[in-house]
Each structure stands twice: as C-alpha cells, then as structure tokens.
Amino acid sequence: MRALLIDDEQSARSSLWADLRDYCPEIVIVGEADGVQKGIAAIRELKPELVFLDVEMGDGTGFDLLEQLAPVSFQVIFTTAHDTHAVKAFKYSAVDYLLKPVDADDLVAAVKKLDKLANQQQLQASLKALLENARQTPSELRKIVINSSEGHYVLNLGEIIRFEAERNYTKVILEKEKPLLVAKTLRHFEDLLLGQKFERIHQSHLINVQHIRKYIPRDGGYVVLSNGDNVPVAQRKKTELLALLESL
C-alpha cells in the first residue's frame, strides 16, 4: 500500500518512517509533507492509498486538509498528541488514530486494521462524521459511527434511545430504525458517551436521558422512554437518577 506522511515535525516523520520500514513492510512510503498546503499538493501529485496525517500543524489542521480535498480517495490514520477532544472525535467517528509518540505495536495494529476497513462509501461517511464532530465542543459531539452485523451506520446521538447489554454484544435501540446488534460491550458505550447525556441506570441498560418520559417508583422502579419501553432502574442508581431528572 502506497503511503504519504504529513506532519510538521521532521522528527515525527523520521520516527514514523523508520517504524513503518521495520514493522510494516507492506507499506511503501511514497513521500512526505510538513503542512496542510504541501500535504494537499503531495496528495494530488502522488495519489497515495493511505495518509498518516498529523492533527495540529503550523498552517492548519489535518481536518482542514480533508475538508479541502473532500471527498477523499485514500484511507487515513491520524497522528496526534494527547488532545482529548480530537481523540473523542476519532472514537465517535470510527476513524483510526495513533497517539504521539507513536508506539510500534499500536502502529502495526492500525495497519492490520486497514484490510478490514469499510468500503469507499463507508469511509466517506466516517470522515464526514469526524469533520462534524471535530468542529464541535467536547460537550456537543453529534454523530457516532456504529458498525453492526448489518452494516455501517452514521447516527445522530439524539436518535439513539438506549443501549442494552446482550453478553459481549450490545443492542442499540433507535427512534425510527430497527435495533442494531453491535460486537461491543455496554461498558464500551458507557465510557465513550460519558458526558453526552447518556446514563447507565442498570447493569444491562444505558439510556439517553433526553428520551425519558417518566419515572415510575412501583415494581422496583423503572423509567418509561419515548418509544414506550419500560427500563428498570437499579436500586443504587435511583437517587442519582432522580437528581438527574430534577436538573433537566
């Protein structure tokens, strides 16, 4: 696979080049660039299949580069310092990234995932969701990309009613579409959606609090959601949930 490195730090490009040579022989590096504008020119000239793209550069961001080239015809692996907002945007959008300094094992894992990546249409959907999320504040992320057994879905957070654990899988219940089954644990979504108005009210249930219609204290306590679902509330979560409802 033909790859291009775009990073405004020479040391970062040299280190990544060496790691790719030593650990990822299937990657052929066709060039490098030290910023957004030079990166755009190099992509247009060299037509890489894969771009390792820095987030923060002297003349702009990797997001700026993608917006100027959209729709892109190459796969992307971002490289970034510990920018928690950028990392969250990547996770929400199912776009791969590497934290600097890049660990060789993480690099190998990211390259191996390339063979399993979605088709061109799915790639465009993920990048579009990423660019939208990257422009929001951390508390306003709007899109999440979910890979289920039935396909690749780009969802608005508001259309997700709840998540329900099914062993090592999770069922995603939506407003208008049929439920999706995802090969991720409920804990994965709980951690991912922290601070995004989702609350785990039971061992098996993570709900969008914006879809709560009422709380019923009888029968152990449960909430009624916008689609009519009754979801039990764990005893240890009742006080926390009532305080949350009062604050809405």
CATH number of 185's domain: 2.40.50.1020
Q: Are residues 74 and 28 in the same domain?
A: yes
CATH number of 30's domain: 3.40.50.2300
**Assigned domain for 147 exists:** no
| pTM (two decimals) | 0.81
Give the pLDDT of residue 179.
Answer: 94
Kindly report the CA angle at 63 between 69 and 144, in degrees rounded to 5?
110
Give the pLDDT of residue 212.
Answer: 95
- The structural domain count of the chain equals 2
The encoded tokens of residue 89 equal: 């945007």
**Helix or strand or coil: residue 221?**
coil
Give the pLDDT of residue 117.
Answer: 54
**Assigned domain for 150 exists:** no
Query: Of the candidates 164, 166, 153, 180, which has an alpha carbon nearest to the alpha carbon of residue 229?
Result: 164
**Helix or strand or coil: residue 225?**
strand
Q: Are residues 102 and 162 in the same domain?
A: no
Residues 6+ apart with CB under 8 A from 179: 171, 172, 173
Q: What is the DSSP letter of 103?
A: P
**Assigned domain for 144 exists:** no
- Domain of residue 53 covers 2-134
Q: Are residues 100 and 177 in the same domain?
A: no
Give the pLDDT of residue 115.
Answer: 62
The segments of the chain whose pLDDT lies below 70 read 115-119, 138-139
Pick from 67, 100, 134: which residue ends a domain?
134
**Assigned domain for 68 exists:** yes
